Amino acid sequence: MARRGVIGRMIGRLLGRRPAPQELCLKDPWVGVDGGNGFGGQKLLRSQQPLGFAAVPCTDLLRDVQLITRYCCIEQPYWAAFLRHYASLGVRLVHVCVQSEADEQVLRHMPTPDGLICEVHRFPASLTPAAALKTLDLQLLASRAPFTLLVDADEYLQPLRTDVSIEQLFALFPDVAQLFLPWLMHPLVDAADAQRLGFWGHIGKPLVRSNRMASIAFDHGFAVDDPQASHRQASAPVGLFGLALTHRWARSFRDCLLKTLFNRFEDAKSADCDRALALINAGELPIRLRLLAYLSLQQGYLPVLDGVAGHVEGDLEELILRQWISLEQEQVCRALFNRYRELLRSSLPQLPVYPATSLLVLAKLLPSLDALEEGQPG
């Protein structure tokens, strides 16, 4: 009898017959382990509770949310646009982590949108940015707002739908400590790229119940009050509810160049930052700019709302850039970038697919300009 059942299923598959719903179970090897919903967290994101109250307008979407973010001098040309975006969604409190007296003074004298408060938290310059973030005492922040969003200044929360609010999502899933907002990648090389479509990234950022956050586990997740739960186990992905973080991985070519030359992060994307200028002068492209070329060649398929277009203060961007690199050197670098991107385009089929491969792994795998010139994909 069992043999006939197996044969029947095999014949059914050959004939294109789908198993009846009652045949689907987790033990069936033809069905995904969790049934699959395309965004993960299927079991976490089941709720029969009604919304109970009307959604708030977009201008109040984040009215109960405070931000935690970071600032250093190269953020200045983009900072005003970042604050305006979140103020337009209802944010009224931003906690800004800095690691120098100069950055602290700039922030304290920088104008902010009406109704928005920026509180500056200074940490030792001896710490890496990731280590400094982990030392922020969240217990002092827990009572300041019901929810807390951890973002960098190139990440813009984008509501793809407006009929479900942050408060409603947390009410639907009372056992979830933090919601995970996926990256919607939208790197810019030139101003015209703002019209391009975006694409899903490989990671995102957390939005946590403030009374449950214990510490910042790492740049992309909170540790919560349950000592048995990791930052991953305690979070639920909510991309399928229409919330995403538009990640301007580069806000312009110059932004990426600034991040290349002025970078204190210790990761594969920044492994050559201390010799970036020497590489450019030698006719080679630093790792971060290789990644920008790769990302700029990805096919876009997701809309990016006009409200997250942001604004670059171009004169200020150039003024800061000239502290590290001359106009002639910048032009040489841009020519190297353009050449690299054109050569990389034909090598894409031989390279890992994003977002199946993370940027940190891609940073180690992307070929050098010399290798591409020689016709070697790796």
Tens-level pLDDT at each residue, the chain (378 residues): 444 443 334 334 433 444 444 443 444 444 444 445 667 766 667 777 776 666 678 888 899 999 999 999 999 999 999 999 999 999 999 999 999 999 999 999 999 999 999 999 999 999 988 899 999 999 999 999 999 999 999 999 988 887 888 888 888 888 889 998 999 999 999 988 888 999 999 999 999 999 999 999 988 889 888 766 655 556 788 888 888 999 999 999 999 999 999 876 656 666 566 788 999 999 999 999 999 999 999 999 999 877 555 578 999 999 999 999 999 999 999 999 999 999 999 999 999 999 999 999 999 999 999 999 987 544
State the pairing for strand pair 65-70/93-98: parallel
Supply angle C-alpha 334, 340, 344, rounded to 5: 145
Based on the fold, state whether residues 258 and 225 are members of the same structural domain: no
Based on the fold, state whether residues 330 and 235 are members of the same structural domain: no
Contact 277, 324 (CB under 8 A): yes
For residue 264, the tally of other CB atoms under 10 A from its CB is 14
The one-letter code for the residue type at 119 is E
Tokens 């009604």 correspond to what residue?
A: 50
Supply angle C-alpha 363, 365, 369, rounded to 5: 85
Half-sphere exposure of 155 (CA within 13 A, CB side): 23
**Domain final position from 247, 271, 288:** 247
For residue 57, the tally of other CB atoms under 10 A from its CB is 12
For CA atoms 267, 127, 274, 276, give the dihedral sign: positive
Based on the fold, state whether residues 275 and 210 are members of the same structural domain: no
* Euclidean distance between CA atoms 122 and 111, whole angstroms: 19
3-state secondary structure of 61: coil
As beta bridge partners, residue 236 has 179
Contact 288, 260 (CB under 8 A): yes
| Paired tokens of 77 | 């040309």
Terminal alpha carbon distance of the chain: 54
Based on the fold, state whether residues 119 and 235 are members of the same structural domain: yes
Peptide bond into 355 cis (omega under 30): yes
Q: Quick one: pLDDT at residue 238?
A: 85
Contact 179, 170 (CB under 8 A): yes
Q: Name the nearest CA neighbour of 75 among 107, 114, 118, 115.
A: 107
Domain that residue 343 falls in:
253-373
Based on the fold, state whether residues 241 and 259 are members of the same structural domain: no
Over its C-alpha atoms, the chain yields an Rg (Å, rounded) of 23
| Paired tokens of 124 | 């030792």
As beta bridge partners, residue 98 has 122
Give 27's DSSP letter.
T
**pTM of the predicted protein model:** 0.85
Number of separate domains in the chain:
2
218 lies in some domain = yes
Helical axes 314-321 vs 76-88, angle rounded to 10°: 140
**Domain final position from 207, 231, 247:** 247
13 lies in some domain = no
Based on the fold, state whether residues 170 and 216 are members of the same structural domain: yes
Based on the fold, state whether residues 175 and 239 are members of the same structural domain: yes
**Domain final position from 221, 247, 273:** 247
* Euclidean distance between CA atoms 374 and 352, whole angstroms: 20
